[in-house]
Structure 1
């Protein structure tokens, strides 16, 4: 399990074409990718299971706790992305709810654009 940052501070200011925004790049794939949004309510859980393909979980709102094969959970919050390799066991829990975008693809390399959380 690796945790990356994609918060505003990790992004780049874009001003081409009279634009004014910050862009935090996340991922680029050449193979097909599935993208979904997960809504976990209070005391929600994505049960302990093996990833069928590499997975990137982007925390958008709320906060929660994630783990890989270790039994110790790590706190995650908005602007952080959790990456699990294919076949890696993992789990996500929340006390008060969270919303996350999940990207699944045979080819994911989050370190191409995002920095690891310190």
Structure 2
């Protein structure tokens, strides 16, 4: 067994698409999907860009204001997630700072109460 401190994963800054105060660090990568940590400093922004694949952002600490293709903003807190479809333009910002996990790729993301893994039935 290995124990990972996702908050301490090595990260690199991202400034594309007008992003600021945004760093990202890879935790796991496969041909079908990748798992990364995302940090936003207070006032940080992930600039509007299209999702490369189905993307799930799960807030671990802090706050996130997210929007998708329609531009409607939604507030998220710890334990809440946003899902964007492949190619969907989206943005994320944080007033107070954010640590999140992002999984992107070939994902089957269910609704609350929906069984995603048939082995769980």
Give TM-score scaled by structure 2 length: 0.64
Q: Are 2:110 and 1:108 aligned? A: no
Number of the residue aligned with 2:76: 76
Q: Which has the higher contact order (CA 8 A, sep 6+)?
A: 1
1:32 CA displacement: 2.6
Q: In structure 2, what is the Cα distance between the partners aligned to 1:83 and 1:71?
A: 14
Unaligned runs of 5+ in 2: 1-29, 114-121
Q: In structure 1, what is the Cα distance between the partners aligned to 2:55 and 2:93?
A: 16
Number of the residue aligned with 1:12: none
Once the two structures are superposed, residues 32-70 of structure 1 have per-residue CA deviations (whole angstroms, 9 ceiling, x without a partner) of: 321100110010111111111111111100011000012
Number of the residue aligned with 2:12: none
Number of the residue aligned with 1:53: 53
Q: Which runs of 4+ in 1 moved over 4 A?
A: none
1:95 CA displacement: 0.6
1:31 CA displacement: 6.2
Matches within 5 A, 1:1-118: 32-105=32-105, 107-111=106-110, 115=112
RMSD, matched Cα: 1.8
Give TM-score scaled by structure 1 length: 0.66
Q: Name the SS of the counterpart of 2:42 in structure 1.
A: coil
Number of the residue aligned with 1:20: none
Unaligned runs of 5+ in 1: 1-29
Q: In structure 1, what is the Cα distance between the partners aligned to 2:78 and 2:109?
A: 17
1:71 CA displacement: 2.5
